A and B are shown apart, each in its own frame.
Chain A
């Protein structure tokens, strides 16, 4: 009997107009979206290669040790899921005068959009009249008058309805998957296809959730017109309102210091530290003048020891000072003693600047707390949970930004020891080598972005996926309770 109900529900749905519209819309929109995004991905990839080449070429010509910290070669490639989902941009383009403001006005359209808006709406349209429609047409009491339990009817309706709903979705995904597999510019390995499979599973969890929501509302309503209104009311709240309001609520509940204010304080600390260090050096200069007299004046004339002690002297002066120190041990002793004083001043400067590190740490910690609060608040909406699962699984979400920072740090751990070794070698080969000299970095460790392990991603997304499953269970339980008491007359 269960099989009959499932078959009937399934056939009833696929012969309906909404199925045809859903099918056509899903396939056309998904295919168009994947085709356009795949082309966009190709352009992004070309742009990424240009950036990598630009950096390589720049390093070949301008690899001076004292400027290297400003040109570390780390470019983020476009996400491999870019043909499906548009990732969140990192910090690299938020401070540009020329950034593109259009995505703020019109958020990008991608696979997530299809699932969260079109499929959830379709799910509601498939289920809102499952019970109320049959009650109104009178077929429900005919079915109930047979020796079939209400549990079986509800279960049959759920399976049959959900199966017919998922057909347009699975078909459109198959078309999209086929396009991705034959497109030569998209190279997906086994893990990418596994992620694609998991993304499909998460999407199905999300779509069935809205089917169950419609079913639940249907079991608590008398007329289809009432149930569709209630469904749309909840859909608007869960998809369009709650997730968008949560970041603003969290910003009100948990305030974080202003970036500009932090920058100002940082600058104040920097000025103060320089002032303290300069005062210290002024005192040292006075002491050295008293102690060494003309010898120190000679040293000062080489542009050492002035108020700009922290700025490196020009290479010609450095060489002259070194030659003078080699020739005169007393000059050398004075130079070493003065260098020690310089180190003490540097130490004091670093100690004061630690306050500025604390400021930035505090800002980062508070920003992380606010983000977490917003993230947790938004969890009351299935939409937010699905976004977290889908984005983090495919490396296009907030976690991917954190992960990129980790990969950058890892690269730094290879790059800087490599540079230090190069400097040591250069110093051995050329005694005149200074921090302002050119370094040959032809074989520097290239930055290669590797996707995070699927296992780690899964561990991260499981709680949110669990919430989606919980929503499914709750809606089904409510639909079950509602249907058990439903007056079929």
Chain B
């Protein structure tokens, strides 16, 4: 019986107008996104070659952009700046190439992560919002339940059938995009990257399942499809936009931290101070001045960095209440373009400057094992938890659902 329900659900979806429009939209968007971000990656690669060619003896590290940035750009532009050793603990980061075009500051990078996080989650909700309420409206639900069909079987069949018909075209579009990327001679995806890409797609499926289950839950809680549509869209806006984007500002209210402008001003002033103070005294006292100012700088830099780490932690904990934020953190961490990678790189730079080596820092992005080992899967667990919660909610609501 379950098989029949799944088949019926898939067939009715395949023949619907909703299916055609969502599939056209998602396929076009995924392909356009991959193409645009591929070109963006080529530009980043050119920029990396220039940074590598022009590195000076003060350059601590320059890392190449990852091809996985095509799928989830995250903080890759930040990571791929060249870091140079400055005076008194100050580390210079080169300007980002995109900082020249101020319009990049107004809009978000349209990578696959963005398409999945925002647009496909909406599509998942649109696929699921009328699964129960829509069938009730047209009267087929009570006909189905008038025979010996059990409600749990029906809801599970609907979930599997609906989600399969939604996710399969997504895989086809991503596969086409990936083939296009891998055929390019510029992109070199090694075994590690393939594993990361696989994990990314797996987490995308879990994330989309959360929204599908949520849509199903709303459908089971309402009796008219128009009502479930309105509620679904508002819940989607809250989970995808409001909680993640408000969370960071809220965290700033909880953890007081000076602006980076204040920090940079203090560092700049100490460098000028050192110049003037050294001029006033004999050469023999230069080292003493250097040491004093370096110690002063290190003190407030350490304080700033500790506070910033606390801010980042609080911010991540608040935003995790949204599946979209948990997915963003998870996906960027898996792809090596997230907060964890940034923290790791910065830690490596600071450690390198402490130990001092003649050679440039040879930095490798985290391996899959490291990503999974350092608690990167906690966000995945949150997504699974959301899934269980929403599906259980839908199941319970459907058991009590009045089909008349």
B213 at the interface (CB under 8 A from A): no
Asked whether, in the complex, the Cβ of A108 is within 8 Å of the Cβ of B245, the reply is yes
Asked whether A241 and B249 contact (CB < 8 A) given A109-B241, A260-B82, the answer is: no
Asked whether, in the complex, the Cβ of A104 is within 8 Å of the Cβ of B260, the reply is no
Binds B, one of A226-234, A278-286, A407-415: A226-234
Asked whether, in the complex, the Cβ of A99 is within 8 Å of the Cβ of B260, the reply is yes
| Contact partner, B265, options A54, A95, A108, A117, Cβ 8 Å | A54
A301 at the interface (CB under 8 A from B): no
Asked whether, in the complex, the Cβ of A232 is within 8 Å of the Cβ of B263, the reply is no
Closest 8 CB pairs of A and B: A109-B245, A97-B91, A367-B100, A264-B54, A244-B110, A374-B103, A109-B246, A247-B103
- How far is it, in angstroms, between the C-alpha of A106 and the C-alpha of B326 when the chains are bound? 11
Chain B contacts of A100 at CB under 8 A?
260, 308, 311
Asked whether A260 and B107 contact (CB < 8 A) given A62-B273, A108-B245, A229-B21, the answer is: no
| Contact partner, A248, options B40, B97, B248, Cβ 8 Å | B40
Chain A contacts of B37 at CB under 8 A?
248
| Contact partner, B248, options A21, A91, A108, A233, Cβ 8 Å | A108
Chain B contacts of A40 at CB under 8 A?
249, 252-253
Chain B contacts of A290 at CB under 8 A?
none
B281 at the interface (CB under 8 A from A): no
Asked whether, in the complex, the Cβ of B122 is within 8 Å of the Cβ of A232, the reply is yes
Asked whether, in the complex, the Cβ of A105 is within 8 Å of the Cβ of B328, the reply is yes
Chain A contacts of B107 at CB under 8 A?
243-244, 246-247, 378, 384
A347 to chain B: closest CB distance in Å?
A: 27
A146 at the interface (CB under 8 A from B): no
B92 at the interface (CB under 8 A from A): yes
Chain B contacts of A11 at CB under 8 A?
none
B5 at the interface (CB under 8 A from A): no
Interface of B is mostly: helix
Q: Mark A376-400, 1 if CB is under 8 A from B, else 0.
A: 0010000010010001000001100
Q: Nearest chain-B residue to A267 (Cβ)?
A: B54
Q: Nearest chain-B residue to A76 (Cβ)?
A: B261
- Contacts between the two chains (Cβ within 8 Å), count: 256
* Chain A positions 190-243 with a Cβ under 8 Å from a chain B Cβ: 224-226, 228-230, 232-233, 236, 240-241, 243
B304 at the interface (CB under 8 A from A): yes
Asked whether, in the complex, the Cβ of A371 is within 8 Å of the Cβ of B18, the reply is no
Asked whether, in the complex, the Cβ of B47 is within 8 Å of the Cβ of A98, the reply is no
Asked whether A260 and B237 contact (CB < 8 A) given A92-B264, A100-B308, the answer is: no
Asked whether, in the complex, the Cβ of A241 is within 8 Å of the Cβ of B21, the reply is no
- How far is it, in angstroms, between the C-alpha of A240 and the C-alpha of B114 when the chains are bound? 9
Chain A contacts of B231 at CB under 8 A?
21
Chain A contacts of B265 at CB under 8 A?
51, 54-55, 75
| Contact partner, A229, options B17, B47, B273, B328, Cβ 8 Å | B17
| Contact partner, A250, options B32, B103, B342, Cβ 8 Å | B103
Chain B contacts of A93 at CB under 8 A?
259-261, 264
A174 at the interface (CB under 8 A from B): no
Asked whether A96 and B272 contact (CB < 8 A) given A21-B234, A108-B245, A259-B100, the answer is: no
B284 at the interface (CB under 8 A from A): no
Asked whether, in the complex, the Cβ of A102 is within 8 Å of the Cβ of B21, the reply is no
A348 at the interface (CB under 8 A from B): no
B119 at the interface (CB under 8 A from A): yes
* Chain B positions 91-122 with a Cβ under 8 Å from a chain A Cβ: 91-110, 114, 118-119, 122
Asked whether, in the complex, the Cβ of B253 is within 8 Å of the Cβ of A29, the reply is no
B339 at the interface (CB under 8 A from A): yes
Asked whether, in the complex, the Cβ of B47 is within 8 Å of the Cβ of A256, the reply is no
Asked whether, in the complex, the Cβ of B252 is within 8 Å of the Cβ of A43, the reply is yes
| Contact partner, A256, options B100, B325, B329, Cβ 8 Å | B100
Binds A, one of B145-153, B222-230, B358-366, B381-389: B222-230
| Contact partner, A106, options B47, B226, B269, B328, Cβ 8 Å | B328
* Chain A positions 33-47 with a Cβ under 8 Å from a chain B Cβ: 33, 36-37, 39-40, 43-44, 47
| Contact partner, A232, options B92, B126, B262, Cβ 8 Å | B126
Interface of A is mostly: helix
Asked whether A258 and B50 contact (CB < 8 A) given A47-B259, A101-B78, A398-B106, the answer is: yes
Chain A contacts of B253 at CB under 8 A?
36, 39-40, 43
* Chain A positions 389-433 with a Cβ under 8 Å from a chain B Cβ: 391, 397-398, 401
Asked whether, in the complex, the Cβ of A248 is within 8 Å of the Cβ of B36, the reply is yes
Chain B contacts of A243 at CB under 8 A?
106-107
B13 at the interface (CB under 8 A from A): no
Q: 16 interchain pairs (CB within 8 A)?
A: A18-B230, A25-B238, A43-B253, A47-B259, A50-B262, A94-B99, A101-B342, A108-B249, A109-B241, A117-B237, A225-B130, A229-B17, A229-B18, A243-B106, A247-B98, A261-B54
- How far is it, in angstroms, between the C-alpha of A236 and the C-alpha of B236 when the chains are bound? 14
- How far is it, in angstroms, between the C-alpha of A322 and the C-alpha of B103 when the chains are bound? 56
A363 at the interface (CB under 8 A from B): yes
Asked whether, in the complex, the Cβ of B46 is within 8 Å of the Cβ of A258, the reply is yes
Asked whether, in the complex, the Cβ of B264 is within 8 Å of the Cβ of A106, the reply is no
Q: Nearest chain-B residue to A388 (Cβ)?
A: B106
For B83, B102, B122, B230, the residue with the greatest tally of chain A CB atoms inside 10 Å of its CB is: B102
A19 to chain B: closest CB distance in Å?
A: 10
- How far is it, in angstroms, between the C-alpha of A100 and the C-alpha of B249 when the chains are bound? 12
- How far is it, in angstroms, between the C-alpha of A36 and the C-alpha of B243 when the chains are bound? 13
Asked whether A54 and B269 contact (CB < 8 A) given A98-B308, A370-B100, the answer is: yes
Asked whether, in the complex, the Cβ of A71 is within 8 Å of the Cβ of B261, the reply is no
Chain A contacts of B194 at CB under 8 A?
none
- How far is it, in angstroms, between the C-alpha of A371 and the C-alpha of B119 when the chains are bound? 26
- How far is it, in angstroms, between the C-alpha of A367 and the C-alpha of B105 when the chains are bound? 14
Chain B contacts of A363 at CB under 8 A?
100
Q: Nearest chain-B residue to A116 (Cβ)?
A: B241
Q: Mark B302-342, 1 if CB is under 8 A from A, else 0.
A: 00110010011001000100000100110010000011001
Asked whether, in the complex, the Cβ of A246 is within 8 Å of the Cβ of B21, the reply is no
- How far is it, in angstroms, between the C-alpha of A258 and the C-alpha of B260 when the chains are bound? 25
| Contact partner, A113, options B29, B92, B245, B305, Cβ 8 Å | B245
Asked whether, in the complex, the Cβ of B74 is within 8 Å of the Cβ of A251, the reply is no
A23 to chain B: closest CB distance in Å?
A: 12
